[in-house]
Structure 1
Amino acid sequence: MDRISAQLAFLIEADRLKSVLRATKLCDKSRRENTAEHSWHIALYALVMAEHATRPVNVDRVIKMLLLHDLVEIDAGDTPIHGAVDADHQAAIEQKAADRIFGLLPADQNAEFRALWEEFEAAQSDDAVFAKSIDRVQPVISNLETDGGTWPEYNVTPDQLETRVGVKVRRGAPAIWDALKTRIDLWFTQNRPGSVKK
């Protein structure tokens, strides 16, 4: 297969990400978002919010990671952060998906994109730490904008949100988590059993 044909095959396959539905709802509450929308939105978040990264980041690299990081969901599906999942099994499925999907590309792009995906997953570099933070921020905002969104559905507690989301956001963008924390605390206060909504 020539280079352009291989690149087009990858891009056509990437279109399938538009059909992978996530737990998160759109801010207008009309429906659940798809993973392609999520990937675009968090890339935009990174572009806008990069100044809040704990350490200086290369925004171009962060955006590339965010555009690529969920392509494996074409095969593996979305795994809600508050859902029950076997992490080792899911990781194996995602590795196999990465082999197949990035393997559609010419060898040089396969190596480059796979390396960015692996870097994001490892979350060790400054760019990847910030990218992981931003990936966690967008669903929180969507849930806040939709009166808790799927938090009640998944029985999310403040402690769960802190350990599964807050820790990762704080690691790469603590100012963003601090800005959201007041709204998060207020939502949980107003929505605990026995509370009276205003």
Structure 2
Amino acid sequence: MSGDFSKMIEFMTLIGQLKRVQRTGWVRSNITRPESVADHMYRMAILAFLVDPASGLDKDRCIKLALVHDMAESMVGDIAPSDGISKEEKHKKEEAAMGYISSLVESSVGREIYCLWKEYEDQSSAEAAYVKDLDKFEMILQAYEYEQLEDKPKCLEEFFASTKGKFQTDQVKQWVESLESVRSNPKTS
């Protein structure tokens, strides 16, 4: 039993590490207080609650996918495209991390965590595609918030540009349009 508990503590500690891993894009953009990976995953999970009931998507599955999609970053960090690591190498590192992380919990829970991560990585379901859209949307929403907080309108355009034409789901496409409209037409006081 103590061995199982020590594994559980290691699991919890690794997951807790996500609160201290800052999102690379914000660090490189010199954001004053950049969000952590855990911050990002939390808001994605909350956004998943908002899935349109008419979409036929499994809301609980979307929430779970949002909660595990970046879990490997507790071990490998937030690897950005500009880091010079190939997609294949990044995937290999994250897959090894997820194998280890999922081995620290009861086997059925570990399998579920690993399978959810793999589903997201492979984009093998409609829920995974929706959560991928949430991932990109949460990033541009955060960029907009940083622009507002730092009083530098449109200073983070590169993040918006990187997502142009990449959204797949109607609901998130509507959110993006609304966000772009708000961003383009700021209220005047």
2:118 maps to amino acid: E
Q: RMSD of the alignment, in Å?
A: 3.2
Q: Distance in 2 between matches of 1:82 and 1:147?
A: 22
1:42 maps to amino acid: M
Which residue of 2 is the match for residue 19 of structure 1?
A: 20
Which residue of 2 is the match for residue 161 of structure 1?
A: 163
Q: Distance in 2 between matches of 1:180 and 1:71?
A: 27
Q: Distance in 2 between matches of 1:85 and 1:171?
A: 32
The 1:75/1:138 distance shift into structure 2, 3 A limit, reads same
Q: Which has the higher strand share?
A: 1
Runs of 4+ in 1 over 6 A off after TM superposition: 148-151
- Secondary structure of the residue aligned to 2:147 is coil
1:112 maps to amino acid: E
Q: Encode CA deviations 1:19-60: one digit per residue, 9 max, x unaligned.
A: 1110338xxx6500111111111111111x31288x321111
Matched, 1:107 2:107: yes
> Which of 28, 38, 41 does residue 40 from structure 2 map onto?
38
The answer as to whether partners of 1:3 and 1:106 remain within 8 angstroms in 2 is: no
Matched, 1:96 2:93: no
The 1:30/1:152 distance shift into structure 2, 3 A limit, reads closer
Equivalent residues, number? 178
**Runs of at least 5 residues in structure 2 that lack an aligned partner in the other structure:** none
Q: Distance in 1 between matches of 2:159 and 2:67?
A: 30
- TM-score, scaled relative to structure 1: 0.75
Q: Encode CA deviations 1:91-134: one digit per residue, 9 max, x unaligned.
A: 11111111111111121111111001111111231111111111
The answer as to whether partners of 1:65 and 1:120 remain within 8 angstroms in 2 is: yes
**Runs of at least 5 residues in structure 1 that lack an aligned partner in the other structure:** 188-198
- TM-score, scaled relative to structure 2: 0.78
RCO comparison, higher one (Cα < 8 Å, 6+): 1
